Chain A
């Protein structure tokens, strides 16, 4: 049984996720779309905080809201004038997209609701402190992640070099 506060908090977050993600794909100004994406990412970070993964929520805010959205806003301002609308969608294309999305929603939603294992309630969990996260990232044993960590660092290096090579002036 959960406290009233956490239930209210849950509904605020759920409504924010649904409303802002619908607005992200339906608004016609591209800059507004990026702003709604920012709010969606904040709501996601709030979900992580509710799940007691504080480190993950902080990473989500720092990397997504702090890095990626800023990158989006810069590239939008570089490639289009602020204020111009995208043109109205052709109705055939919109119907196609709506059909795909709603069909997927119905099929996946039905298969979720029909499984009774989806109704488990939240078990208790001890606090995950930073030391645990750090040893799991830096070890090579079972349930430890040094190899993917190093692979990510090589990937980021390749991404830096690739970004410079692709985007520099010839």
Chain B
């Protein structure tokens, strides 16, 4: 048995679909953020696996993943700052409570 490219893409595809499901069904803002991290992570796996299998010896996919990890860290830190601020304002982080910004 040989482990081909497809064998790595299927788990990452399932991970991405889990992220989509969580993003659509969760109500807690932190849980939504966690689902977002799952999706980002699945995309990172794809970059690395395509780089390794199709273009070995080059490092484009690896560096793209490296920068994606850094951007994901920055984005998460800022999102959590916003969530804590929202928690102070409306005493909860349920997305259904956030109706103040609706017109």
Chain A interface residues (CB < 8 Å from chain B):
1-2, 6-7, 10, 13-14, 17-18, 21-22, 24-25, 30, 33-34, 37, 40-41, 44, 47-48, 51-53, 55-56, 59-60, 63-64, 67-68, 71-72, 75-76, 78-80, 86-87, 89, 93-94, 96-98, 100-102, 104-105, 108-109, 112-113, 118-126, 128, 132-133, 136-137, 143, 145, 148, 152, 155-156, 159, 162-163, 166-167
Top 7 nearest A-B pairs (CB, nearest first) are A25-B22, A97-B24, A125-B56, A97-B25, A101-B21, A167-B81, A159-B74
How many A-B pairs have beta carbons closer than 8 Å: the answer is: 217
Whole-angstrom CA separation of A118 from B69 in the bound complex: 25
Whole-angstrom CA separation of A128 from B24 in the bound complex: 40
Interface size class of B (residues with CB under 8 A): 35 or more
Q: In this assembly, does B1 line the interface, its C-beta being within 8 Å of a C-beta of chain A?
A: yes
Contacting residues of chain B (19-59) with chain A, CB-CB under 8 angstroms = 19-22, 24-28, 30-31, 33-35, 37-38, 41, 44-45, 48-49, 52-54, 56-59
Secondary structure call for the A interface = helix
Chain B residues in 8 Å Cβ range of A6 = 3
Chain A residues in 8 Å Cβ range of B20 = 97, 100-101, 104
Given contacts A108-B13, A136-B59, contact A24 B2 (CB under 8 A): no
A78–B87 CB distance below 8 A: yes
Q: Distance in Å from the Cβ of B86 to the closest Cβ of chain A?
A: 9
Q: In this assembly, does B70 line the interface, its C-beta being within 8 Å of a C-beta of chain A?
A: yes
